[in-house]
Amino acid sequence: MSETLTRRPLPALMSVSDRAAERLRVLYAGAHQGQLLRIGVGTRGCSGLSYEMTFVDEPAVTDERVEDQGVTLLVDRKATLFLTGTVMDYEIKDLEAGFTFRNPNEKGRCGCGESFHV
């Protein structure tokens, strides 16, 4: 007797919130026109890993392309293991504003919030 295996769908590599998409549209139309934002993960901080964001003129051969909410992001292939399922948001607080990441792979963050571990 043969059983059919049911595969569950894989989560998206990354997605962007409405606020992050709107902020990227502003950046892509202004100072970073013709460029794309590349997301990566590097080693830094108390917990060992940190998010890296760089505007680039063209994708590298090793970049994964993410298209969501009408915007395009690049993800460094070396970071895909750490970023699968991550939602990128843009938060505005009283004294600061910036992109944030809700990453289901994070197991913890350092006290200052600058780095994480999986």
| Mean pLDDT of the 19-32 span | 96
Residue 99 contacts residue 88 (beta carbons within 8 Å): yes
Containing 81, the helix (H) or strand (E) segment is: helix 80-83
In whole angstroms, what is the distance from residue 34 CA to residue 114 CA? 29
- Tokens (6 digits) for 93: 């607080």
Residue-level pLDDT at 113 = 55
If pLDDT is split at 50, 70 and 90, which confidence band does 105 have? confident
Query: Is 112 part of a structural domain of the chain?
Result: no
Query: Is 54 part of a structural domain of the chain?
Result: yes
pTM strictly above 0.85: no
| Mean pLDDT of the 13-24 span | 96
> Which of 17-31, 42-56, 100-114 is predicted most confidently?
17-31
**CATH code of the domain covering residue 56:** 2.60.300.12
Query: Is 77 part of a structural domain of the chain?
Result: yes
**Of the candidates 25, 109, 113, which has an alpha carbon nearest to the alpha carbon of residue 72?**
25
Query: Is 91 part of a structural domain of the chain?
Result: yes
Containing 68, the helix (H) or strand (E) segment is: strand 63-68
Query: Is 86 part of a structural domain of the chain?
Result: yes
Residue 87 contacts residue 14 (beta carbons within 8 Å): yes
Query: Is 69 part of a structural domain of the chain?
Result: yes
Number of separate domains in the chain: 1
If pLDDT is split at 50, 70 and 90, which confidence band does 82 have? confident
3-state secondary structure of 117: strand
- Tokens (6 digits) for 11: 């989560």
Query: Is 8 part of a structural domain of the chain?
Result: no
Query: Is 74 part of a structural domain of the chain?
Result: yes
Domain carrying residue 51:
14-105
Residue-level pLDDT at 104 = 86
